[in-house]
Amino acid sequence: MANAALKAARGLVRDFGEVEQLQVSIKGPGDFVSTADLKAERTLRAELGRARPGYGLLFEESGATPGSDGRHRWIVDPLDGTTNFLHGIPHFCISIGLERDGEIVAGVIYEPTRDEMYWAEKGAGAFLNDRRLRVSARRHLADSVIGTGIPFRGRGDHAAYARTLTAVMGATSGVRRMGAAALDLAYVAAGRLEGFWEFGLSPWDIAAGMLIVREAGGYVSDIAGGHEMMATGDVLAANDHLHLPLGSLIKEALRPQPSAE
């Protein structure tokens, strides 16, 4: 997985250096796909297919491809943070998760501009390059910095999200919106963020990051506290001290608002 990510990243780094010359097509409002994205996907598909020919594939751009091995599937985002990439902002990554019998058992998130490889295997811990990762030990929301993803034009319930943002802003040391959900989860695992929440994500955004957070000692759930993240796309990740209070804060903010008489 790491070798596939490194090979795909070489092309991304080259294209990032020439970002103004990239051919860009519009997929939808505020959501772009570039030639760099598609080249990275082709490289990852070839490398992962060569390593494990029978595994199924789920890619952001090309969708699902079943494999002869019904137990295993790669879940891949070749370029998470595409909008950052296309604007010359050096905060993007490749995310690869391995699913076995419906459970994520290995994950890699590679950020090429800083040469940071986050990785984990179920039961074996989480690492940044060769350093063991642990989530932050902060115990109070007032001392914490929380990551989030803000819905953009044409996506999500902006009013409901704004209520959650207002609640978290008022209870913490700060909120960060950096534009790459996989890296936000990796930052929770590394203790750079105490927590992260977002709504409406896709499996390729979260598959690797969920496992890396858990193997670093953190907790990941959906907003309700359940385990339907891959189905709903709603994710709450935090260290063991702050997962419950952060979740309570967000759930309270999402309660239906009484109508004004």
3-state secondary structure of 169: helix
| Angle at which helices 35-51 and 2-16 cross, to 10° | 160
Q: Give dist(CA 242, CA 240) in Å, integer.
A: 6
Angle at 95 between CA 3 and CA 7, to 5 degrees: 30
Please name the fold of domain 2-132: Fructose-1,6-Bisphosphatase; Chain A, domain 1 (3.30.540)
Integer angstrom CA distances of residue 86 from 26, 90, 128: 12, 10, 26
Residues whose CB is less than 8 angstroms from the CB of residue 196 and which lie 6 or more positions away in sequence, other chains included: 146, 147, 148, 181, 184, 185, 187, 188, 235, 236, 237, 238
Query: What are the residue ranges spanned by the domains of the chain?
Result: 2-132, 141-254
Mean pLDDT along residues 36-44: 93
Angle at 77 between CA 72 and CA 82, to 5 degrees: 175
57-102 pLDDT, tens digit each = 999 878 899 999 999 999 999 999 999 998 889 999 999 999 999 9
CATH code of the region 141-254? 3.40.190.80
204-225 pLDDT, tens digit each = 999 999 999 999 999 999 999 9
